[in-house]
A and B are shown apart, each in its own frame.
Chain A
Amino acid sequence: MIAELGHLLAFLALATAASQSVLGLTTGGAPVRRLAVATGMFTLLSMLTLVISFVRLDFSVELVARNSHSLKPIIYRIAGAWGNHEGSMLLWCLIMAGYGAAGAMFMRGGKLRDRTLGVQGLLTTGSLLYLLIASSPFVRLDDPPLDGGGMNPLLQDPAVALHPPFLYTGYVGLSFVFSIAAAGLIIGKIDREWAARTRPWALTAWSALTIGITLGAIWAYYELGWGGWWFWDPVENASFMPWLVSAALVHSLIVTEKRGGMAAWTVFLAVLAFCLALLGTFLVRSGVMTSVHAFATDPERGIILLIGLGITGGAALALYAWRAPKIMAGPEFDPVSREGALILNNLFLSVAAALVLVGTVTPMFAQALNISLSIGEPYFQLTFAPMMAVLLLFMPLAQASTWRRTEIEPLLKRFWPAMALAIVVAVGAAVLSGKTLWLIPGILVGVWVVAGVAMDLARRVGPGGAGRVFRLPLTVWGMAIAHIGMGLFVIGATAETAARSERTFPLRQGEVAEMAGWTFRFDGVGSAEGPNYLSTRADITVTHDGKTEVIHPEKRFYPVAGTGTTEVAIRKTMGGDVYVALGDTIREEPGVWRIRIAHHPLIDWVFGGAGLIAIGGFVSLAARIRRRVPVTEQAPATEPEVTGKPPATAGAPA
């Protein structure tokens, strides 16, 4: 019964979403609001029924039979509900309808809200139609099996269980930003107030997307067993392109909100971000590429997704082309100003996104011409890294610049200690590690950003002691946290990429391997049994600085799926991770196991930095929620960012 109830609830959601879109785009008011909340509730309940089916192991539901198994731990039974194509599409619908319901509850009433809910209803209707027609999760089996087919063991992992909800809150959250943009275009009101009302949603989606991508990277790092955290895989790029564009968006929204400038560009980015999210979904789900996300690839689904992308993108761009000429241009400003700096930020981020797009889709176009080629890490390192390095050189200066016009000379004078520190650290790191090519620019930029942002923060606090730190506005904190996170990320990513060391040792029981001041004694393997897997567990005695401990890298075999996973053993140190993976046996020499030992310097800075970026985004969001002053009441001359500064900083002419 429960699956039929879920199916029915999805149909009810479809009905309310369709009415929501019709009413939202024509009249509006309280009924639209109630319909949006109802759509959210119905999809939520529908998702719950699916989760219940998975938890209760109802194998008469085809999806459960294919993707679950009675021996699977409870957390993966729950996560199994979205660890497959159909369930993840339901999650997609839920997040989309959830944003609609949240918008109905938190947006101020008026035409903008009505039209936004209307467009969101339209998108939700499309998604639910796709769910019900092409990928229903509620299909029953006439002849239920006694047990299920299990879940891809690689996905049975806490980080990856949480990865889809966060990723979708970001990815699909961009649909709501898209809806506000479309609504603003429809009512012909893309102005400062529009930007102020869009920004919290853009920040929410972007921060959640940051977390989702980071969780995926963490999972890849320890679960795939080769210690890489980013492969420039098309699947990763699919989520990274919307991230870059929405990063540009949360910056350009500041210009539109505070100065009324860049409005046409900002609304274009808002449309583009969601179109790229749809493109990413198409790339990942249509089976045009090999990936762990290509659950059950189906060209037919790909075509439907492509049509959906075409309609959504085409309609939005047509609307944009029609309305954009009427969008007011903002006030004038000097190229060297905060506006200029944010434009530079946007140019770099969008060009970087375009370079990633080229690298991602070129192989697919080539495939259509029957040329099979691949574009990998070297391309992205050569193109993306220099773009970001130049962009980040401007970051501290941009943060310290003022609206309309900034004197560059005092800024350069003020920040020279940060640059000096960056040069010293970068050269020092290069001399110490013996790697120069990638290390110097990366470390230089990273240290410069962290030191520069810290200096800017110190200046904003001013003389007067630590007590004043807490008087800084939250918006400043949000920006500083995210920017410092970016700097730490760059330092970590550079160090990890340039200075990681790895080697595979063939070891017999009792033999010792040495690497980077650590010794590893292989004490043989034993077996162990998990809830739904058999494990081959190695005992390796690790000695470092006179301390000894035993670690246990494993190879797990999941009989239900017929495949295995590598569970690495990781020891954290100040300088990075020591990473040990148990490989295979050598056939010609019984008793010899291949053990891969790697050192990943500063790897925690990579994930920690990315986490700080997300936290910074959420802090900025909190600042918005706390203020909640209607923008129209703000006097245009006061800058919230400036209020925390001591009067002395007003030295630069405004």
Chain B
Amino acid sequence: MRKRSQRLWLIGAAAALVAGAIGLGAVALKDTVAFFYTPSDLVDKNVIAEGKSARVGGLVEVGSESHDSDGALVFKITDGKHNLPVIFDGIPPDLFKEGQGVVAEGRFDAQGQLVAKRVLAKHDENYMPKEVYDALKKNAGEAGAEAFMKEPTS
């Protein structure tokens, strides 16, 4: 095969593959991206709709943790202003605790609860998800977020 056609073939194959990948990536991004919300965002922007996927962060509201009749974990995420009920049929991470930072990912059901597929808690006592910190800062002021950060974890 001549050098020229060899090169043309190469460029053609690469272009087709890249075009395919861009198409695939764009479709996948559009379908799967989950935006991050605080409970207040959900109310302000009227986000909640059945089947919509979202990532919600805040603190586990003190006194909200319980279980439904099937034994699934039920709790509320709060940012100090509003809260969102969450159902999670799994074992929460070891650092999951009332009053602590948490991010839940999942889809809303017909009752407007978040059915979580994944619940993330802080990885260690000195650290919390940046998104949660920012959300708390926005709603409770810098002092609120700082106070939380220093709160001893006993």
Total B residues in contact with A, Cβ cutoff 8 Å? 51
Most buried by A among B6, B24, B32, B153: B32
Is A373 in the interface zone, CB < 8 Å from B?
Answer: yes
Give the segment of A18-26, A27-35, A117-125, A347-355 that binds chain B.
A347-355
Q: A332-B1, A348-B17 are in contact. Are A375 and B91 (CB under 8 A)?
A: no
Is A504 in the interface zone, CB < 8 Å from B?
Answer: yes
Pairwise interchain contact B71-A504, C-beta atoms closer than 8 A? yes
Q: Considering only CB atoms, which chain B residue lies closest to A373 in the complex?
A: B35
Q: How far is the CB of A62 from chain B (nearest CB, A)?
A: 15
Pairwise interchain contact A586-B91, C-beta atoms closer than 8 A? no
Contacts between chains A and B (CB distance < 8 A), count: 147
Query: How many A residues are at the interface, by size bracket?
Result: 35 or more
Pairwise interchain contact A343-B27, C-beta atoms closer than 8 A? no
Is B3 in the interface zone, CB < 8 Å from A?
Answer: yes
In angstroms, Cα B11 to Cα A596, docked, is 52
Q: How far is the CB of A563 from chain B (nearest CB, A)?
A: 6
For window 330-372 of A, CB contacts with B under 8 Å fall at: 332-335, 343-344, 347-348, 351, 354-355, 358-359, 362, 371-372
Give the segment of A72-80, A188-196, A377-385 that binds chain B.
A377-385
Q: A290-B129, A372-B36, A563-B95 are in contact. Are A586 and B17 (CB under 8 A)?
A: no
Interface digits, B112-129 against A, CB 8 Å rule (1 contact, 0 not)?
000000101001111101
Pairwise interchain contact B72-A290, C-beta atoms closer than 8 A? no
In angstroms, Cα B123 to Cα A146, docked, is 26
For window 1-44 of B, CB contacts with A under 8 Å fall at: 1-3, 6, 9-10, 13-14, 17-18, 21, 24-25, 27-29, 31-37
Pairwise interchain contact B153-A562, C-beta atoms closer than 8 A? yes
Measured between beta carbons, the chain A residues less than 8 angstroms from B17 are 347-348, 351
In angstroms, Cα B118 to Cα A378, docked, is 13
Q: A375-B32, A376-B32 are in contact. Are A562 and B154 (CB under 8 A)?
A: yes
Residue from A373, A383, A387, A561 in contact with B34 in the complex, judged by beta carbons closer than 8 Å: A373
Is A528 in the interface zone, CB < 8 Å from B?
Answer: no
Pairwise interchain contact A562-B125, C-beta atoms closer than 8 A? yes
Q: For the A-B complex with A374-B34, A382-B31, A587-B66 known, give 14 more contacts whose Cβ atoms are closer than 8 Å.
A: A296-B126, A297-B127, A329-B3, A335-B9, A343-B10, A372-B55, A374-B33, A374-B36, A383-B24, A387-B21, A502-B90, A563-B94, A564-B94, A565-B94
Interface pairs A-B: 10 shortest CB-CB: A506-B71, A372-B36, A378-B32, A382-B28, A583-B91, A379-B32, A373-B35, A351-B21, A290-B129, A292-B123
